[in-house]
Amino acid sequence: MKMVENELNDDPLIGATLGGLYRVTRLIGVGGMGRVYEATHTRLGKAYAVKVLPEGRADKPDATERFLREARSASKVENEHIVKIVNCDSDEAHRLFIVMELLEGENLAERIDRGALPVAEAVEIAKQTAEALQAAHDAGIVHRDLKPENVFITQKNGTDFVKVLDFGISKIKTPEHGDPKLTATDQIVGTPLYISPELARGVATVDHRTDIYALGVILYEMITGTPPFTGQNHFQLLYQHGNEAPDPPSQRSKEAGIPPHVESAVLRALEKNPADRFASMDAFCAALEGPTIPPRARTVGLPLLAVAVVAGATFVLWPRPAPEFVPEFVPETPTQARTEAPTQASPSVTEKSDSPAETSPAEPVTQRVKIALDSHPRGAFVSLNGEKMGRTPLEVEVERGAAATVRFSLQGYRSEAHRLVANEDDALVVRLEKKSRPKQPPIKTHF
């Protein structure tokens, strides 16, 4: 939606009353599917945002259907991060309009225009957007046109609060229609900068994972300042999304301090094959939180085997066994054996001795601990807190009690990042998950 304050005085709807209830006060913006105004309810006195379908498109069935689909999709989902639809109607002049809650703030595109966002801020915006889309997916709705312009940032309790807009080209899964499908006249939808590989190829069936890809592109752009692909034209972008691997975000923005687990989550969301992406928005959010390995628990008399699954990989912690305790044996001397009971009572073993010789010095506490790292398959490249360490198997040292991030990467397998806090020597083994190969043919640009 483009701000057009200079068009305010020339707009014929300023001052008009839509449907006999909504008096238009000002133009907010203009988009491809309508003009958005601020309007006041004549009876309630409350301000709303009203989106009006342009007169030139009102007589086109496909444009009308897309406009109505936006209202149906958004109103079908109950989630605080999706813009609220109040009404959808037409007036005596046959103007079709949607009444929505009025938002104050800016869209994400305007914020990105000022430069890359801090990683924590970007991740929080992505998580709120993901929550909205997860609710839509649970209701059988795929957005299909997720982009920064459709992510609106307002304020709630002094913090950023996301609202997802424009479900105009969404697909609704219903018992009558089955899986969401593209129509013959709507084979390539979405914005090329954020389009998923399957939409770029014009695949007949898409699902919620196309939105996961788009959110991955948006998060990539938020933390680096640029989208992963920037072709010079529409066809180059389609080819890049369908065939080329994106640069790791940390290579685009080395000074941003992008945590390995965030980079790993973004790259997984950008996998070409939908099967290699996260299975849901909830899983994407969990990966953005980062895996945490708690301090090793101990049980008396039994060794501990701790197994956890994080971001699709299984890792196993094997504690190193404590050294067996063998009591020191001091042989009794012949003199001691023949000694009779003393005439004076000997000090009790429970009495505290003042003799310096009997005081054991405190053992120094080691400030660093060793972590043995391995992977299945072996030979994975390892980085510790962003520093290159070598290939598995290997051993690294970390500061006792301090958080550390270990990342494993191997060609043909999904990269995995793990966050751990070690208080003693330990071991970490990961089982890397092999990537699936896309079955779709490459996109050709001469069509």
- Is 2-100's fold the same as 292-321+367-431's? no
Question: Which residues, at least 6 apart from 442, have a Cβ–Cβ distance to it below 8 Å?
Answer: 239, 242, 243
**pLDDT at position 205:** 80
Angle, helices 281-289 vs 260-269, to 10°: value is 160
The number of residues in the chain equals 447
For CA atoms 411, 414, 420, 426, the dihedral sign is: negative
DSSP state of 440: S
For the residues 299-317, what does the mean pLDDT come to?
Answer: 38
Which CATH number is 292-321+367-431 given?
2.60.40
Nearest to 290 by CA among 403, 202, 145: 403
**pLDDT value at residue 68:** 78
Q: Are 69 and 168 in contact (CB under 8 A)?
A: yes
Residue 342 has pLDDT above 80, yes or no: no
Mean pLDDT (whole number) for 253-269: 91
* pLDDT at 118 exceeding the cut of 90: yes
Q: Which fold has domain 2-100?
A: Phosphorylase Kinase; domain 1 (3.30.200)
Topology, domain 106-289:
Transferase(Phosphotransferase); domain 1 (1.10.510)
| Domain spans of the chain, in order of start | 2-100, 106-289, 292-321+367-431
Instruction: Report how far residue 210's alpha carbon sits from residue 281's, in angstroms, rounded to the nearest whole number.
Output: 11
The whole model's pTM is what? 0.65
Q: How far is CA 358 from CA 92, 131, 329, 353, in A?
A: 102, 64, 17, 7
At 437, is the pLDDT very low, low, confident or very high (cuts 50, 70, 90)?
low
Residue at 427: amino acid letter: A
Q: What are phi and psi of 26, to 5 degrees?
A: -160, 160
Question: 406 phi and psi, to 5 degrees?
Answer: -110, 130
Q: Higher confidence at residue 440 or residue 49?
A: 49
- Provide the pLDDT confidence category of residue 26 given band limits of 50, 70 and 90: very high
Q: What is the mean pLDDT of residues 52-74?
A: 72
Contact 155, 309 (CB under 8 A): no
Comparing 419 with 14, which gets the higher pLDDT? 14
Percent with pLDDT over 90 in the chain: 39
Highest mean pLDDT among 110-114, 167-171, 199-203, 315-319: 110-114
* Active-site annotation, residues: 145
